[in-house]
Amino acid sequence: MTQGRSTHSSDSARFAAGPHAVVTRRGAERAERGHPWIYKSDVSEIRAAPGDVVDVISPRGHKIGQALFSDRSEITLRLIERGERSFDQQTLDERLDAAIAYRESLAIDANAYRLVHAEADRLPSLVVDRYDDVLVVQALSQGMDRLLPQVARWLENRFGPRGILIRHDARARLLEGLGQSVEVLRGEVPETVVVRDRDVAYEVDPRRGQKTGAFLDQRENRWAAAEAARGRLLDCFSYDGGFALRMARRVSEAVALDLSDDAVARITRNATRNGLDNVRAERSKAFDFLRAAERAGERFDTIVLDPPAFAKNRASLPRALAGYKEINLRALKMLTRGGTLVSCSCSYHVGEELLLDVVRAAAHDAGATVSVIEKRGQSRDHPVLLDVPETHYLKCLILRTL
């Protein structure tokens, strides 16, 4: 059903006869600065159906480009092409080709990684992850949902995968007025897939696992942090043992914590699969364990803090910062001199400088002198767009106590 909304008459409407959206001056300026999102408040006129690819027109009638239109999301327009060129099947194929060529250029020593990273591959709201011979796909907007059949055909022709799984259980789809489901689109998808990251093998649950099955964005950070690991390791919020498994051969003992019974069982299986008898998985809430261990006078030489997003929006930021400070403070109090702290945040609203401020305050309260070994972000298969700060969500600090 075509929608119509206009706040004023405009020559812009006559400029585009097909599906189009006229944006305000602020919306046009945002697009011209390179950001692909235009919010509902910056759209003055719409002639389109939900999920259409629309011409985006400035207040003066200039075509800015084309975008995926959503009639439900606050992000009403997601720019998918700029200038006069139209987005079509050829463009879609070119974007997918470019995304895969980039991953191939990275020579990733793993068979589980991200193939398409949405806006950063100029395919807004499309995520494609590889788990060996299984592909997991998410279409997180009305427009990309409509393009999904073309995307799936391209992936099938390019990779010939064992199966393609659609993970449409993300909350973002609710904001788009789309249904939630997890279903096999092509071929067959097993309950678990065993994948390889260098010399570490681990299992993934593509249907029920976090994100599309695993936290692929931490892959490179785990190996970088492993180089600094030694002695006794505590891996908090471990999930599938990501950091613990990579560090296990460098440490004397690895304690991996997670609140989920399934996660604890998975860590144990992964440790056995890799012949690691020094990894112990424990079901525990990280906050409680840190508090009790600090009071008991326990000491660790390496501590990893990789919590879920504490700040899902700006309103939750103060409470989130208090949480980040508490876990970093308790970790620093238990860390031996010369020990390594890996402190992460996947909250977009907690920028790198803010995370550094939190750790700095925690170090001061703990009476610790701390040096920064590395400041890192998400793995290179999850690239960051320079003009889109929202794509830089993962921060990883590798620190050393003096």
Which is it for the CA torsion 289, 290, 295, 297, positive or negative?
positive
The reply to whether 346 belongs to the active site is yes
Does residue 320 contact residue 284 with C-beta atoms inside 8 Å? Answer: no
CB atoms within 10 A of CB 205: 17
How many H-runs (helices) and E-runs (strands) does the chain carry? 11, 21
Q: Are 300 and 231 in contact (CB under 8 A)?
A: yes
What is the dihedral sign for C-alpha 155, 156, 161, 167?
positive
Q: Residue 288 half-sphere exposure, CB side, CA atoms within 13 Å?
A: 7
Under 8 Å between Cβ of 335 and 303? yes
Cα(133)–Cα(106) distance, integer angstroms: 19
Amino acid at 295: R
Q: What are phi and psi of 336, to 5 degrees?
A: -70, 160
Spatial distance between the Cα atoms of 171 and 164, rounded to a whole number of angstroms: 21
DSSP 110: B
Selecting among 236, 344, 346, 396, the annotated active-site residue is 346
CA distances from 39 to 15, 165, 303 (A): 22, 30, 41
Active-site amino acid positions: 346
